[in-house]
Amino acid sequence: MEVFNLMIKKRIQQNPKHKYHRRCGKQKLTRICFADDLLIFSHGSIQAIQVVKDSLQEFQAVSGLIPNPQKSSIFYGMINNVLKAQILNILGFEEAKLPVRYLGIPLIGTRMLVKDCTKLVEKVKAHVQNWKHRALSFTGRLELINFVLQSLQVYWCSVLLLPKTTIKYIEKVFKGFLWNGGDLKKGSAKIAWKMVCRPKDE
């Protein structure tokens, strides 16, 4: 996909009036590639969309790789229906609506809200529920928190800015599992949570 990146960059350089997606102009971001998937970000103008179309066609001619219309979608933001129809006609892809889930994470067009994190919270609680009736030692529960539960949260945090309310609730679930085996009751902690979260060498 680096070849495609060079192609689209070249076309942008040839057009000094080119506009980026309104949140990608500072970084001059045009695409993100995950494995075999390609996410392209563009300004919602015919001129900018034509740059995308021409770059895709050039890449197709060089590589022989063809975008699958059935597996390709366009997501719009603040675009009127007339312009939508023109863009759809140029690219030949179908319109889709946000939010969608990609690699287990919700893709949304706004700031993350508590309701958008429901899946993450449910996953954490489901793990705790499955372990609740096992005869796990304190060390065993701590290991599960560090290597299973926290990895779920870290994965989301690596690409999203989670609401503080969600982070605090997940920590509450961690505490309940560590000190009570899963019950979310207060007053049973032996030491402060910040002490538990310290690196091992401290």
Cβ distance 41 to 30 under 8 Å? yes
What is the pLDDT, as a whole number, of residue 83? Answer: 95
Measured CA to CA in angstroms, residue 199 lies from 140, 150, 164, 202 at distances of 17, 14, 22, 6
Cβ distance 145 to 91 under 8 Å? no
pTM over 0.95: no
DSSP string computed for 161-200: ---HHHHHHHHHHHHHHHHHTT---SS--SS-HHHHTS-T
Task: Give mean pLDDT in consecutive 10-residue pieces for the chain, a chain of 202 residues.
Answer: 87 85 82 84 93 94 90 91 94 91 87 94 94 89 93 93 95 90 70 74 60
What is the pLDDT, as a whole number, of residue 59? Answer: 93
